[in-house]
């Protein structure tokens, strides 16, 4: 599929993340106005609340775009999702008869504030990248026990904390927690010293399942509304001490950042690709009926406070994952767990096979033993106060790209606690 031309001129460039082919969904506000739904096109945003008031779509439910989240649209189901995308594609296409009236509902992206694009119902994070699991397993449990025995059979996941999910740009406060040095008799309480990122894709569940009713991988695939970039900020020292036997808890609960645009599964359709060859056969309930990963280029930049430029510290691709989102969601519901509109599924850290394709500082600095050198000459093992970390992502088409925007966070110092 080539670039689809739009009457919004800035959308017709090979460099824009938001051509007509993309149409990512966000929530925005201008000045003191209430946040509402919009769609990005080039360097503009279409105000869907006002456009709908002016007659964009015939709908029974009139006010879904006036909400500060996309959940109500998701609730309307896949047939409506397709109808909305078709209508927006028609209305914003070059030569559209809607241009005359619709232009008044556009605002420059540079003049709006972006908010969380949806209300997170529950948040689950997976561990589905084989390179990442092998690297981390080697560091935490030794090379002989790197990949747990269940890993090639189960898309391993754990429940995260929805209340900690924040939109790109939100300041990240360095967490406090229990830290125990290997040679110490007892833990102490204080600021995390091994603060890390995890480069992930977040999938947004757009449908619901009833408690007790599992779903197939195909049904799961059809329930995904769209994707965001996701940075599962991690406190490696807190994690190392707390995670046995019940998994990470406070090490992952202080913040998870997402990019502000929901890139729809529909926009990513031309970029579907297969999961890697299976080393051992999967059980029937995890078999994929077709290609369910996507070819999405990803990268991470790091910029210390005051540094003139950001340094790229990782380049990888979503197709490196061993399990797809559809497999993860099918597994999630396999015991009968009810899934809901707005559930967020983190892919797991997306590391590639090479040293510079690793999606966490834990891996990039090999547990802190091999510091990275940034473009400015500064070195880093883990994140320091004032550092800004940014995730970037785009699926690359023929003369266009499906961009995700950025997922950005700057680290603020830990708070003083316990209180004096």
Catalytic residues: 132
The CB-of-107 to a second copy minimum distance in angstroms stands at 29
3-state secondary structure of 18: coil
| Nearer to a second copy (CB atom), residue 49 or residue 344 | 344
Contact 341, 74 (CB under 8 A): yes
Nearest 5 degrees, angle CA 211-CA 216-CA 221?
A: 100
Q: How far apart are CA 244 and CA 283, in angstroms?
A: 28
Selected range binding a second copy among 28-36, 194-202, 309-317, 336-344, rule: CB under 8 A: 336-344
Residue 146 C-beta-side C-alpha neighbours within 13 Å? 12
Is residue 162 close enough to count as binding a second copy by CB under 8 A? yes
The CB-of-413 to a second copy minimum distance in angstroms stands at 11
Selected range binding a second copy among 1-9, 20-28, 72-80, 209-217, rule: CB under 8 A: 209-217
Is residue 101 close enough to count as binding a second copy by CB under 8 A? no
Mask 136-155, x = binds a second copy (CB under 8 A)?
Answer: -x--xx------x-x--xx-
| Selection from 246, 199, 222, 230 nearest residue 339 by Cα | 222
Strands 272-273 and 263-264: unpaired
Residue with tokens 């834990």: 362
| Selection from 124, 134, 165 nearest residue 320 by Cα | 134
Is residue 184 close enough to count as binding a second copy by CB under 8 A? no
Give the bridge partners for 200, in sequence order.
Answer: 230
Q: How far apart are CA 18 and CA 337, in angstroms?
A: 36
Is residue 119 close enough to count as binding a second copy by CB under 8 A? no
Q: Is 256 marked as a binding-site residue?
A: yes
Query: Which of 173, 222, 273, 372 forms a contact with a second copy (CB under 8 A)?
Result: 173
Q: Is 125 marked as a binding-site residue?
A: yes
Question: Could you tell me the two tokens for 187?
Answer: 């833990």
Question: Could you tell me the two tokens for 17?
Answer: 């993340």
Q: Is 384 marked as a binding-site residue?
A: no
Q: Rule CB under 8 A: which of 265-284 touch a second copy?
A: 280, 283-284
By CB under 8 A, name the binding residues for a second copy.
121-122, 127, 137, 140-141, 148, 150, 153-154, 156-164, 166, 173, 175-178, 180, 186-189, 211-214, 216, 235, 238, 241-251, 253-255, 280, 283-285, 331-332, 334-340, 415, 417-419
């Amino acid at each position: 599929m080539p670039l689809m031309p739009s009457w919004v001129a800035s959308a017709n460039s090979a460099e824009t993340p938001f051509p007509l082919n993309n149409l990512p969904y966000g929530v925005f506000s201008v000045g003191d106005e209430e946040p509402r739904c919009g769609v990005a096109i080039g360097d503009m945003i279409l105000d869907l609340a006002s456009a709908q008031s002016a007659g964009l779509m015939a709908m029974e439910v009139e006010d879904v775009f006036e909400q500060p989240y996309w959940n109500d649209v998701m609730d309307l189901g896949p047939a409506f999702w397709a109808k909305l995308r078709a209508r927006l594609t028609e209305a914003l296409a070059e030569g559209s008869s809607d241009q005359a009236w619709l232009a008044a509902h556009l605002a420059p992206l540079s003049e709006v504030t972006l908010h969380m694009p949806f209300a997170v119902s529950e948040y689950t994070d997976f561990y589905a990248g084989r390179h990442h699991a092998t690297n981390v397993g080697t560091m935490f449990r030794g090379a002989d026990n790197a990949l747990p025995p269940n890993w090639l059979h189960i898309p391993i996941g754990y429940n995260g904390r929805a209340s900690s999910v924040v939109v790109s740009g939100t300041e990240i406060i360095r967490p406090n927690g229990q830290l125990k040095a290997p040679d110490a008799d007892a833990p102490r309480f204080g600021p995390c010293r091994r603060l890390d990122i995890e480069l992930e894709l977040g999938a947004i569940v757009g449908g619901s399942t009833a408690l007790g009713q599992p779903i197939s991988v195909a049904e799961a695939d059809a329930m995904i509304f769209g994707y965001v970039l996701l940075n599962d900020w991690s406190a490696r020292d807190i994690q190392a001490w707390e995670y046995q036997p019940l998994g990470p808890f406070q090490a992952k609960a202080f913040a998870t950042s997402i990019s502000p645009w929901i890139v729809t599964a529909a926009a990513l359709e031309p970029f579907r690709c297969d999961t890697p060859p299976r080393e051992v056969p999967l059980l029937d309930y995890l078999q994929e009926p077709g290609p369910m990963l996507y070819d999405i280029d990803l990268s991470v930049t790091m910029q210390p406070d005051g540094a003139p430029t950001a340094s790229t510290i990782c380049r990888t691709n979503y197709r490196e994952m061993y399990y797809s989102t559809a497999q993860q969601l099918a597994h999630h519901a396999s015991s009968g767990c009810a899934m809901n509109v707005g559930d967020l599924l983190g892919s797991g850290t997306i590391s590639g096979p090479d040293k510079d394709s690793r999606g966490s500082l834990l891996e990039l600095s090999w547990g802190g033993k091999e510091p990275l050198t940034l473009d400015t000459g500064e070195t880093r093992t883990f994140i320091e106060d004032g550092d800004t970390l940014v995730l970037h992502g785009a699926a690359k088409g023929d003369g266009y790209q499906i961009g995700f925007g950025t997922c950005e966070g700057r680290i603020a110092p830990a708070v003083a606690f316990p209180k004096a």
